[in-house]
């Protein structure tokens, strides 16, 4: 496919701001590598660590509305040119957007900044991100991608609601649920696009006759619809039995969806296999969280981490490593360091979700999980940082 931006004047600025995945993936990984251990220190009662919110609230906000939006925008800003056939957002505009994200992280870490000012500064990034996505969709008249604009807009509204509720001294539990429901839908929709495509590409390159099942309006549509319904009901009625049953049903249907992609055959290439493992965590999160709401096995807090540490952790690293290799002109192959990144994230999620149920003391389980999970992102910074800072090999 020939993109309209092929005829644009060559980009002359710093390589780091030539594509959205570069600053946002590296910043998200660096932030995760620092913020998670910092939260563990706060949780352990280390004195002198003060941020804008109490430790639990800060941890929730900064992972849901700080770390995750950076990953999402890194992906979106890289995918939008392919969706719209328009030039990528780069240079001054990208620097401005990244600076808004960074400003949000700083004001939330500084308790002496006026609370209302901090709320406004932090809210601007996602609002600007949604505006940019809508602008690109509208300019290209690519209305079939409007759901992406809707989801990012809802994400921005959830962050605004979080700040309003905390400023008023009220419970801020609903906005993170709303944001995580949006993330679940994004994982289901985007995963359903990229995983079968990359799997088919792998089969073709290896000369294998197998193919993932094509998108079905009925089966895949049902899988997505059930996740949307589960997220909606959970946002507004988080403790009802019907919420649990909806999650379980969504998990069963999405397990069938995952099986249709034949991911077990991609084991020779971890760069593809990891995306199937990430989607398996999506399925597990639906089943485990639904079961927890029905009183089965795990607590809801532990089961929810199947989504936040398992599905999100593994899927984001799978996407980040593949995009970083492919868009910098490197072979799309996971070497030993990349495989180690995947294993650390997987192990961290495993300990965080199942450690307490297996009898691990809570502080020990959290410490081990955090060290492994955040270590995966720290290793991403060390191994992929130089790639993201340097020009692409094919330029």
Q: What is the pLDDT of residues 64-103, one digit of tens each?
A: 999 999 999 999 999 999 999 999 999 999 999 999 999 9
Is the per-residue pLDDT at 187 higher than 60?
Answer: yes
Is the per-residue pLDDT at 253 higher than 50?
Answer: yes
Average pLDDT over residues 260-281: 98
Please tell me the predicted confidence (pLDDT) of residue 4: 43
Is the per-residue pLDDT at 258 higher than 50?
Answer: yes
Q: What is the pLDDT of residues 292-309, one digit of tens each?
A: 999 999 999 999 999 999
CA dihedral 376, 367, 353, 34 (to 10 degrees): -40
Average pLDDT over residues 240-257: 97
Please tell me the predicted confidence (pLDDT) of residue 90: 94
Please tell me the predicted confidence (pLDDT) of residue 393: 87
Is the per-residue pLDDT at 1 higher than 80?
Answer: no
> Tokens in use for 162?
């979080």
Average pLDDT over residues 134-155: 96
Percent of the chain with pLDDT over 90: 90
Q: What is the pLDDT of residues 147-185, one digit of tens each?
A: 999 999 999 999 999 999 999 999 999 999 999 999 999
Is the per-residue pLDDT at 269 higher than 50?
Answer: yes
Q: How confident is the model at residue 2 (pLDDT cuts 50, 70, 90)?
A: very low
Is the per-residue pLDDT at 6 higher than 60?
Answer: no
Is the per-residue pLDDT at 12 higher than 90?
Answer: no
For the whole model, what pTM was predicted?
0.94
Q: What is the pLDDT of residues 26-65, one digit of tens each?
A: 999 999 999 999 988 888 777 777 888 888 999 999 999 9
- Euclidean distance between CA atoms 181 and 151, whole angstroms: 10
Is the per-residue pLDDT at 3 higher than 50?
Answer: no
Is the per-residue pLDDT at 117 higher than 80?
Answer: yes
Average pLDDT over all residues of the chain: 94
Percent of the chain with pLDDT over 70: 97
Q: How confident is the model at residue 9 (pLDDT cuts 50, 70, 90)?
A: low
Q: What is the pLDDT of residues 325-369, one digit of tens each?
A: 999 999 999 999 999 999 999 999 999 999 999 999 988 999 999
């Amino acid at each position: 496919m020939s993109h309209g931006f092929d005829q644009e004047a060559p980009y002359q600025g710093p390589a780091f701001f030539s594509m959205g995945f570069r600053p946002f993936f590296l910043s998200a990984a660096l932030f995760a590598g620092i913020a998670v251990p910092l939260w563990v220190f706060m949780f352990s009662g280390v004195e002198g660590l003060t941020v804008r919110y109490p430790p639990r609230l800060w941890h929730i906000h900064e992972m849901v509305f700080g770390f995750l939006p950076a990953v999402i925008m890194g992906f979106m800003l890289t995918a939008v040119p392919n969706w719209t056939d328009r030039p990528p957002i780069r240079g001054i505009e990208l620097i401005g957007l990244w600076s808004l994200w960074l400003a949000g992280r700083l004001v939330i870490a500084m308790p002496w900044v006026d609370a209302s000012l901090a709320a406004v500064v932090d809210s601007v990034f996602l609002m600007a991100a949604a505006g940019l996505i809508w602008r690109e969709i509208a300019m290209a008249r690519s209305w079939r991608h409007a759901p992406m604009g809707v989801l990012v807009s809802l994400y921005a509204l959830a962050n605004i609601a979080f700040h309003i509720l905390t400023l008023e001294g009220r419970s801020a539990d609903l906005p993170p649920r709303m944001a995580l429901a949006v993330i679940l839908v994004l994982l289901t929709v985007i995963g359903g696009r990229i995983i079968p495509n990359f799997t088919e590409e792998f089969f073709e390159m290896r000369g294998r006759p197998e193919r993932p099942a094509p998108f079905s309006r009925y089966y895949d549509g049902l899988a997505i619809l059930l996740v949307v319904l589960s997220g909606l009901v959970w946002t507004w009625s988080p403790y009802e039995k019907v919420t649990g049953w909806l999650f379980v049903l969504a998990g069963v249907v999405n397990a069938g969806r995952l099986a249709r992609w034949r991911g077990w055959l991609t084991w020779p290439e971890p760069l593809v296999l990891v995306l199937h493992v990430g989607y398996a965590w999506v399925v597990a999160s639906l089943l485990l969280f639904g079961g927890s709401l029905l009183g089965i096995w795990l607590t809801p807090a532990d089961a929810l981490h199947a989504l936040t540490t398992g599905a999100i952790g593994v899927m984001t690293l799978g996407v980040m490593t593949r995009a970083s290799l492919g868009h910098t002109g490197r072979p799309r192959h996971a070497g030993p360091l990349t495989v180690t990144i995947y294993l650390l994230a997987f192990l961290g999620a495993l300990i965080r979700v199942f450690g307490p149920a297996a009898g691990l003391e809570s502080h020990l389980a959290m410490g081990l999980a955090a060290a492994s999970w955040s270590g995966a992102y720290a290793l991403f910074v060390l191994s992929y940082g130089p790639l993201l800072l340097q020009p692409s090999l094919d330029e």
